[in-house]
């Protein structure tokens, strides 16, 4: 069953070789809007962190920038969605399920590729 959940990720990764460039913000925007912006939007963002625009993600919140373009391992957003233990799991376990593997992989690709607009 777990293998089936990775199928979208595998399909996406196979298509990446044909992509014309790195992953853009527009590719990850829907993931963030669906899973993050309700708490990290314009109105009263949790921890002063807004995730409703690329610029806001780069500016970060109380803990600093949410991402470090080109450096997945130093990006707090990636650590949070992967529940690595470095920062609080996001979305919080009581509020929503974890992001699926394909969404996390796309966020990782975006950050690794320099978090292009």
Q: Is the pLDDT of residue 11 over 90?
A: no
pLDDT of residue 12: 54
Distance of CA 93 to the CA centre of its chain: 16
Position 3 scores a pLDDT of 44
Q: Kindly report the pTM of this predicted structure.
A: 0.82
Q: How far is CA 82 from CA 16, 44, 85, 89, 99, in A?
A: 22, 24, 9, 7, 8
In the structure, what pLDDT confidence band is assigned to residue 30 with cuts at 50, 70 and 90?
A: very high
11 within 8 A of 97, measured Cβ to Cβ: no
Q: Give the pair of three-digit tokens for residue 95.
A: 């509020």
Residues in the chain: 117
Q: In this predicted structure, what is the pLDDT of residue 13?
A: 54
**Token reading at 96:** 């929503």
Looking at residue 62, what DSSP letter applies? T
User: Would you report the helix, strand and coil content of the chain in percent, each value rounded to 5?
Assistant: 50, 5, 50
Give me the mean pLDDT over the 85-114 stretch.
96
Give CA–CA dist 9/3, Å, rounded.
Answer: 10
Confidence at residue 77, expressed as pLDDT on a 0 to 100 scale = 98
- pLDDT tens digits for 56-94? 999 999 999 999 999 999 999 999 999 999 899 999 999
């Amino acid at each position: 069953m777990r293998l089936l959940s990775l199928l979208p990720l595998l399909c996406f990764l196979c298509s990446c070789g044909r992509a014309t460039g790195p992953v853009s913000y527009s590719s990850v925007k829907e993931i963030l809007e669906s899973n993050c912006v309700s708490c990290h939007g314009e109105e009263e963002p949790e921890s002063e962190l807004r995730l409703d625009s690329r610029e806001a993600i780069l500016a970060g919140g109380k803990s600093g920038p949410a991402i470090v373009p080109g450096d997945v391992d130093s990006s707090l957003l990636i650590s949070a969605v992967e529940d690595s233990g470095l920062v609080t799991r996001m979305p919080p376990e009581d509020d929503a399920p974890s992001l699926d593997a394909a969404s996390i992989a796309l966020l990782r690709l975006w950050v690794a590729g320099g978090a292009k607009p």
